[in-house]
């Protein structure tokens, strides 16, 4: 699987429906999601009339969020406290593309343990990336895809859980349903992807956005 994913396309472009629930808020948004390896993401939330309601972009280092009706542009570093408040603990924004599409991010992997799944879905691999990050992944051998990805902190606690389902066909399957749970905050986000564009091409410039001059610019920490 690791060897195969290195041959897969660098980018995705699809319609997206996002629903979320946390102790702070809950809701649902529909729109378009674009992503490019290793960490570029863009989400445009669209209302039923086709008008843009919100825009979120990140390059894995900085982010911008523009709620159009508020006429504001929020921006800051993904390592800041504001971003951490909404991003689940254990999520690594520098590898956001790989989290989204159910792939292991690049780097040297050390396998610590292997066990057979009791329900016969495949094999559980406990892996280490050598940077202090430990994960437990459920690998479906016949499909050659990940069904689950759990991040474990240095205390051995499971802090971040992602379920992947409804994969597309082909040599580079993509998940049509991604369910993310932050186990510490007990918050959940479900992403459904459909109508994929075939082999989209992007550059880093496609993941930048500047709001109109009339919008208030808010730099967050």
In the chain the domains, ranked by start, together with CATH numbers, are: 2-219 (2.50.20.10)
**pLDDT for position 31:** 97
Q: Across the 221 residues of the chain, what is the mean pLDDT of every consecutive 10-residue run?
A: 86 95 85 96 94 94 94 93 75 87 87 94 91 87 93 86 94 94 83 94 93 94 83
CA distances from 94 to 37, 48, 91, 109, 144 (A): 9, 32, 9, 17, 24
pLDDT value, residue 15 = 97
Q: What does DSSP assign to residue 10? A: S
| CA-closest candidate to residue 57, choices 49, 45, 69, 70 | 45
**Do the Cβ atoms of 188 and 25 come closer than 8 Å?**
no
Helix (H) or strand (E) holding 5: helix 2-5
Strand-pair category, 11-21 with 187-194: antiparallel
Q: Is the pTM of this model over 0.85?
A: yes
Going by C-beta distance under 8 Å and a sequence separation of 6 or more, which residues neighbour residue 212? Answer: none
Beta bridge partners of 66: 55
| DSSP result, 38-104 | TTEEEEEEE-TTS-EEEEEEE-SSEEEEEEGGGTEEEEEETTSHHHHHHSPTT--GGGHHHHHHT-P
- How high is the pLDDT of residue 211? 92
How confident is the model at residue 47, as a pLDDT?
92
Residue that the structure tokens 């050659």 belong to: 144
| pLDDT, position 131 | 67
pLDDT at 161: 92
């Amino acid at each position: 699987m690791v060897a195969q994913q290195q041959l897969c396309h660098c980018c995705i472009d699809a319609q997206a429906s996002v629903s979320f629930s946390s102790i702070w808020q809950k809701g649902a948004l529909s729109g378009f999601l674009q992503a490019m390896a290793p960490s570029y993401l863009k989400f445009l939330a669209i209302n039923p009339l086709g008008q843009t309601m919100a825009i979120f972009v990140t390059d894995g280092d900085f982010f911008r969020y523009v709620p159009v009706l508020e006429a504001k542009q929020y921006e800051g570093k993904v390592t800041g406290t504001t971003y951490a408040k909404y991003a689940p603990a254990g999520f690594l924004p520098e590898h956001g593309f790989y989290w989204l599409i159910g792939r292991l991010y690049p780097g040297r992997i050390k396998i610590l343990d292997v066990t057979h799944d009791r329900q016969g879905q495949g094999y559980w691999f406990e892996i280490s990336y050598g940077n202090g990050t430990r994960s437990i992944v459920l690998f479906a051998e016949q499909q050659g895809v990940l069904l689950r990805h759990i991040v474990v902190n240095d205390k051995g606690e499971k802090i971040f859980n992602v379920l992947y389902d409804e994969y597309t066909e082909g040599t580079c399957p993509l998940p049509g349903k991604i369910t993310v749970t932050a186990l510490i905050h007990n918050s959940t986000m479900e992403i459904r992807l459909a109508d994929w564009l075939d082999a989209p091409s992007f550059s880093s410039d496609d993941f930048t956005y500047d709001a109109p001059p009339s919008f208030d610019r808010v730099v967050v920490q």
